[in-house]
Amino acid sequence: MPFVPLIPKGSPPPLAPYSPGSAAGDTIYVSGTLALDQSGALVGKDDARAQTRHILKTIQAVLEAGGANTSDIAYNMIFIKRGQDYAAMNEVYREFFPSTPPARFCIICELVRPEFLVEISSVAHKR
């Protein structure tokens, strides 16, 4: 089955050769998403809450471009730069997934640039 790239209006320029998302049948894959505005500038310098909020709103836009929403997310992959930001990330994450949150993992690791504190990738299944 071929996939369809999903590039919402106002997407930041990609840092590498990828699309923000892709749809294959009823499944939507959202690329690793960073806190970048539409011009490619960092959102939320030194603020894991602001970065998480911006990332999840960006993921919402990708899902909407594919006819889905955050309630269709089945799995999130979360990467944080510093363990001290885990609680802040979770505080914002709960706002987007207040009940029946999707499966996920969270890894502490270096990200593609030092200013990034959070990166999230998602898999959704349209209902």
Q: What is the predicted pLDDT for the residue at 60? A: 98
Q: pLDDT tens for residues 41-92?
A: 999 999 999 999 999 999 999 999 999 999 999 999 999 999 999 999 999 9
CA distances 60 to 24, 56, 82, 95, Å, are 17, 6, 24, 13
Q: What is the predicted pLDDT for the residue at 30? A: 98
By residue range, what is the domain housing residue 77?
4-125
pLDDT of 14 higher than 90: no
**Which tokens hold the place of 88?**
């802040």
Q: What is the predicted pLDDT for the residue at 2? A: 86
107: domain CATH number is 3.30.1330.40
pLDDT of 10 higher than 80: yes
Domain count, the chain: 1
Provide φ and ψ at 95, rounded to 5°: -65, -35
Q: What is the predicted pLDDT for the residue at 124? A: 98
Q: What is the predicted pLDDT for the residue at 17? A: 92
Q: pLDDT tens for residues 15-29?
A: 899 999 999 999 999
Q: Which of 120, 10, 109 is nearest to 73 (CA)?
A: 120
Would you state the torsion angle of the CA atoms of residues 8, 124, 101, 31, taken in this order, to the nearest 10 degrees?
Answer: -50
pLDDT of 1 higher than 80: no
